[in-house]
Amino acid sequence: MKNNSTYLGTVQDVTGTTIRVSMVNDSLSGLTYVNGEGYRIGQIGSFVKIPIGYNYLYGIITQVGAGAVPENQVANQPYGNRWITIQLIGEGQRAGEFQRGISQYPTISDEVHLVSEQDLKRIYGQPDKPYFVNVGHIAGAESIPALVDVNKLITRHSAVVGTTGSGKSTTVASLLNALSDTEKYPSSRILVFDIHGEYGQALKDKASIYKINADKSAGSAEKELLLPFWALNFDELCEVSFGKFSNEKDYNTILERILSEKRKSLEKYPRDGLSTDTLNVDSPVPFSLNHLWYELYTQTLGKLYQDKEGKPLAYELDEDGNEIKGDPINGLPPIFKKINSNGANGDRIQYQNESPLTNGQQLHSLGSKLRIPRYDFIFKPTDLTPKQDGEVEKDLDELLKGWIGSDKPITILDLSGVPITILNTIIGVLLRIIYDGLFWSRNLSQGGKERPLLLLMEEAHNYLNSEGSALSIVQKIVKEGRKYGIGTMIVSQRPSEINSTILSQCGTFFALRLSNSTDRSHITGTVSDNLEGLTSMLPILKTGEAIILGEAVKLPMRTFIKAPSKDRRPDSQDPIVFDEVKSEESLRPGGWGNKMELNPNYKEFIETWRAQNPKIERIIK
């Protein structure tokens, strides 16, 4: 086979899966032809094969070089001792399929050959297999589709990483469009955590969109995102409502009061699957937080007429002489008169002798949130808002049906309107509710075993770093979710800031351009293959080009991701200052080369700001 045009050289050194090859001098130009196709020799990231009996060992070139030769051999080796370093990655029979891992090693003087395009087609699989999804084509071989195994991609978890401007969001949009093909995958189920509201426009005909302050105009696809406070467990509820407690007494007081309110509610409105014997403070049972807050406020901060019969509350009076008792429904606290220790005629006013809480700090915190509209999606979730006795018009089944039981393959949770101070907690709550529901329903048709769910988390470095409720539940999902049909796709521009436990559980990586050395080393240390040479190419990848590594692909592959059409792209494109093409043909917004708009409407400018919604359909055509 040494006369074969694919012949590169012979094995000179074997150290584990790292092979050193001495190259022949026949192709000094660095170019060879196989079946009429030209191939560059010694390209970093290209594949080679080593015949071993009836099998081939396959490897990736990770390093090339040349060493000095003795002076008396210069005539025979004018270009020096040329060598390449190979990382073995798998094996396969000569006419059979490729398999990851190796069962035997090469020996000294074994031949090393170039892998041709025909070999690559056999290795990378067949595009007509339904469990393969086409995400683009192999770099340098447009005829070979880049195929990803959906079975491994979904439940073995994955990550899409790349610096800003590398094509990360476009890659995600391309994957979502491919995975939501209802003809190929009629029951696909994907839930997107969209931090910046980028994906609604690109996927609106394939997705149900839930958003805070949804656009309610005719024709809008947006629905209101609701997260009833009573669906949170106790610690989550305290974090978004009362805040931190200064002492254990206050913590236990609130715990007991909430448990008591849930018990009363359950006794009056029984819930299937729950009884007063199995009830605990974390059980998702409706109760009136507004009335509990009002009672605690009155009992903690209320003042009494000490000398009047029954010691009534000393309310302040308004201009009409009416007592200012407040309004629990709207979060308005009562106003009490000032302390008066020396009052005559029964006007002595003092605090109550026994107060349930040490001070009113937590009550003031919760009261302000009950009044702020930005928190209405938690504390006033329309039909899920409990009455004083705990009655609600709808239960959590309606909520979860909308999130993971939609008739569309994708559900987008647009979290751009969530207050940043509680974003981590809210994402953690959403993930926990979904995980708990799928865990306990795993044997039902709605569960993850029958209909697996992909959780796509955008800008994951913002909430999957060192602490927070989102981190703990995602760690649980990546460790155990596979058994219950729950997969994750982590998307980030700073993988080094993501918890290492989470990244280490990702079986597949879509690595786009990464310039930061810390981020690159994080990826290199996480991938299962020993491919430092391949990941060293990350800083020089083109926009939209990715190296796909891991379980969902047979071989690591350098891929050009198939970009979706302009109207299918997320709202994340960088505006351009000056574009050479016309604005209607450009894939990027803006440009100083466009004619200035006459009489721009700044009333619409202010309306979008006040509405906290950049895409009011009445305005944005």
Residue 38 has pLDDT above 80, yes or no: no
Instruction: Count the domains in the chain.
Output: 4
CB atoms within 10 A of CB 552: 23
DSSP notation for 182-238 = TTT-TT--EEEEESSS-SHHHHTTTEEEEETT---STT--EEE----GGGS-HHHHH
Q: Are residue 281 and residue 315 in the same domain, yes or no?
A: yes
Q: Are residue 119 and residue 60 in the same domain, yes or no?
A: yes
Of 345, 242, 340, 260, the C-alpha closest to 300 is 242
Return the higher-pLDDT residue of 54 and 68: 54
Question: Which of the given ranges, 496-510, 517-531, 558-572, has the highest pLDDT on average?
Answer: 496-510
Task: Return the structure tokens found at 525.
Answer: 């240390």
Residue 140 in domain: no
From CA 47, how far away is CA 112, in angstroms rounded? 10
Residue 287 has pLDDT above 80, yes or no: yes
Which tens digits make up the pLDDT trace of 99-108? 888 889 999 9
Which tens digits make up the pLDDT trace of 351-361? 877 788 888 88
HEC secondary structure over 462-527: HCCCCCCHHHHHHHHHHHHHHHHCEEEEEEECCHHHCCHHHHHCCCEEEECCCCCHHHHHHHHHHC
Q: Are residue 452 and residue 495 in the same domain, yes or no?
A: yes
Residue 619's pLDDT band (cuts 50, 70, 90): low
Say what the pLDDT of residue 123 is: 76
**pLDDT, mean over the chain:** 85
Q: Are residue 358 and residue 413 in the same domain, yes or no?
A: no
Q: How far is CA 276 from CA 260, 271, 586, in A?
A: 10, 10, 62
Q: Are residue 541 and residue 602 in the same domain, yes or no?
A: no
**375-389, 475-489, 499-513, 607-621: least confident range:** 607-621
Cβ–Cβ under 8 Å, residues 612 and 215: no
Which tens digits make up the pLDDT trace of 123-169? 776 667 888 899 998 887 788 889 999 999 998 999 999 998 888 98
From CA 27, how far away is CA 9, in angstroms rounded? 11
CB atoms within 10 A of CB 272: 5
Can you tell me whether residue 404 is helix, strand or coil? helix
Q: What is the mean pLDDT of residues 182-192?
A: 93
Residue 144 in domain: no
Say what the pLDDT of residue 402 is: 92
Say what the pLDDT of residue 203 is: 86
Say what the pLDDT of residue 528 is: 60
The dihedral sign for the CA sequence 324, 325, 328, 329: negative
Q: Are residue 307 and residue 343 in the same domain, yes or no?
A: yes
Q: Are residue 562 and residue 462 in the same domain, yes or no?
A: yes
Residue 307 has pLDDT above 80, yes or no: no
Name the residue type at position 13: D
Residue 607 neighbours by CB under 8 Å, 6+ apart: 616, 619
> Cα angle vertex 409, ends 408, 412, to 5°?
85
Say what the pLDDT of residue 530 is: 62
Residue 401 in domain: no
Q: Are residue 287 and residue 429 in the same domain, yes or no?
A: no
Return the higher-pLDDT residue of 292 and 221: 292
Q: Are residue 619 and residue 564 in the same domain, yes or no?
A: no
Of 500, 506, 383, 385, the C-alpha closest to 454 is 506
> Cα angle vertex 457, ends 456, 458, to 5°?
115
Q: Are residue 534 and residue 552 in the same domain, yes or no?
A: yes
Residue 27 in domain: yes
Residue 432 has pLDDT above 90, yes or no: yes
Cβ–Cβ under 8 Å, residues 495 and 522: yes
Say what the pLDDT of residue 44 is: 80
Residue 381 in domain: no
Residue 395 in domain: no
DSSP notation for 433-456 = HHHHHHHHTTTSTTSTTTS-EEEE
Which of 108, 124, 140 terminates a domain? The answer is 124
From CA 531, how far away is CA 47, in angstroms rounded? 12
Number of H helices, E strands in the chain: 16, 23
From CA 261, how far away is CA 242, in angstroms rounded? 16
Q: What is the mean pLDDT of residues 326-350?
A: 82
Say what the pLDDT of residue 281 is: 96
Say what the pLDDT of residue 313 is: 81
Which of 358, 375, 392 terminates a domain? The answer is 375
Residue 35 has pLDDT above 70, yes or no: no
503: left (phi over 0), alpha (psi -120 to 50) or beta: alpha
Q: Chain-centre distance of CA 404, in angstroms?
A: 16
Say what the pLDDT of residue 363 is: 93
Say what the pLDDT of residue 588 is: 62
**386-395, 444-453, 504-513, 516-525: least confident range:** 516-525
Return the higher-pLDDT residue of 78 and 457: 457
Residue 540 neighbours by CB under 8 Å, 6+ apart: 513
Tell me which residue range forms the domain holding 415. Answer: 152-206+408-568
CB atoms within 10 A of CB 112: 26
Q: Are residue 331 and residue 432 in the same domain, yes or no?
A: no
Label the pairing between strands 508-511 and 158-161: parallel
Can you tell me whether residue 45 is helix, strand or coil? coil
Residue 394 neighbours by CB under 8 Å, 6+ apart: 383, 384
Cβ–Cβ under 8 Å, residues 262 and 285: yes
| Residues in the chain, total | 621
Residue 606 neighbours by CB under 8 Å, 6+ apart: none
Q: Which residues pair with 55 in a beta bridge?
A: 52, 93
Q: Are residue 115 and residue 249 in the same domain, yes or no?
A: no
From CA 405, how far away is CA 445, in angstroms rounded? 11
Say what the pLDDT of residue 392 is: 95
Residue 129 in domain: no
What CATH number is associated with residue 510?
3.40.50.300
Which of 568, 590, 605 terminates a domain? The answer is 568
Of 254, 263, 244, 255, the C-alpha closest to 299 is 254
- Please report, to the nearest 10 degrees, the dihedral formed by the alpha carbons of residues 199, 205, 207, 208 taken in order: 110
Return the higher-pLDDT residue of 516 and 370: 370
Say what the pLDDT of residue 47 is: 86
From CA 112, how far away is CA 116, in angstroms rounded? 13
Q: What is the mean pLDDT of residues 555-565?
A: 86
**261-275, 402-416, 523-537: least confident range:** 523-537
Question: Which of the given ranges, 58-67, 279-288, 343-352, 535-544, has the highest pLDDT on average?
Answer: 279-288
Q: How far is CA 35 from CA 5, 113, 253, in A?
A: 9, 14, 80
Residue 398 in domain: no
